[in-house]
Amino acid sequence: MSALLEVKDLKVSYGSIMAVKGLSLTVNEGEIVTLIGSNGAGKSTTLRTISGLLKPVSGSIVFKGQEIAGKAGHDIVAMGLCQSPEGRRIFPRMSVRENLDLGAFLRNDKVAIEADRERVLDLFPRLRERYEQKGGTMSGGEQQMLAVARALMGAPKLLLLDEPSMGLAPVLVDMIFETIIKIREQGITILLIEQNASAALDVADRAYVLESGIIKMSGKASDLAKDEAVTKAYLGG
């Protein structure tokens, strides 16, 4: 297995507040890796920095063997690193179709785009029913599906998922995590950020536990799920 994404000693700050204080993590090709931690631990900040929305203070982010730390967001997307952002950030005044079009914004392989469109609509049949509806008028679960589907339209090598289960009904949470496994089966590597630690550890191969901007623990997801400290802090056990 080779490392698809390698983050080393990443430090990110918001003004004078250091939100990520020297984070290192590796995502190997074909893996599902999860980064768990409580609210404010620095999970979203980490993802936003990987996607080029924030510039790190220091540290390196290597994707497909290339340094991407501090690169512009659109160059990172072009390399095949796509993110489904937190909080259902879809384009509210655009239809499902247009949202998906934007997901494929940088691609011009028409045939492959249409094939991917069919593929994501098969993955989320609900979106097919809502195809011409404006994103902002859909339910929270549908918007979440759309955010993931839209990221998939970028034909990613690595998919970053920021809290895909947030605020969803339990049935939908299960559905989203089943879909995450299906996405991996299609050959896409996934870095998943979750507050719902038990579900995340269930689907992931490996996991990192983030606390106040520092990795506290890491290892096989199944081991961490049994770990007492993790159980206590994140699994309500």
Partner 1 sequence: MNLQVLSSQFWSLCLQGVALGFIYVLISLGYTMVYGVLRLINFANSEVFMVGTFATVVAQVGILQNQTNSQPLHGFRLLYTLAFSLGFSMLICGVLGVLVELVAYRRLRALGTNRLASLISAIAVSIVLLETTRIVTFSRPQTSPRLLDKWSFGEIAGANFRIDTVAVIVSGIVIFFALDRFVTKSRLGKAIRAVSMSEENSKLMGVNLNRVVSLTFFIGGLTTGAAAFFYTTVYETTQFNVGFNLGLAAFTAAVLGGIGNLRGAFYGGLFLGVLEQFASAILGSQWKSVTVFLVLVLVLLLKPNGIFGEAVQQTRT
Would you tell me which residues interact with partner 1 (CB under 8 A)?
51-53, 72-74, 77-78, 82-83, 85, 89-94, 98, 101-103, 105-106, 134, 150-151, 154
Of 96 and 221, which has the nearer Cβ to partner 1? 96
Distance CA 197, CA 43 (A): 13
Of 72 and 229, which has the nearer Cβ to partner 1? 72
Token pair listed for 237: 């056990």
Of 137 and 222, which has the nearer Cβ to partner 1? 137
Nearest partner of 7 among 194, 42, 104, 84, judged by Cα: 42
Of 191 and 233, which has the nearer Cβ to partner 1? 191
Q: How far is the CB of 3 from partner 1 (least distance, A)?
A: 23
Q: How far is the CB of 104 from partner 1 (least distance, A)?
A: 9
- CB count within 10 Å of CB 40 equals 12
Distance CA 148, CA 162 (A): 10
> What are the φ/ψ torsions at residue 143 (nearest 5 degrees)?
-65, -35
Of 74 and 128, which has the nearer Cβ to partner 1? 74
Tokens 């190997």 -> residue: 28
Q: How far is the CB of 53 from partner 1 (least distance, A)?
A: 6
Of 14 and 174, which has the nearer Cβ to partner 1? 14
Instruction: For residue 230, give the amino acid letter.
Output: V
Q: How far is the CB of 164 from partner 1 (least distance, A)?
A: 14
> What are the φ/ψ torsions at residue 136 (nearest 5 degrees)?
-65, -15
Instruction: For residue 85, give the amino acid letter.
Output: P
Q: Are strands 3-14 and 81-84 parallel, antiparallel or unpaired?
A: unpaired
Token pair listed for 64: 């497909």
Q: How far is the CB of 62 from partner 1 (least distance, A)?
A: 20
Q: How far is the CB of 166 from partner 1 (least distance, A)?
A: 16
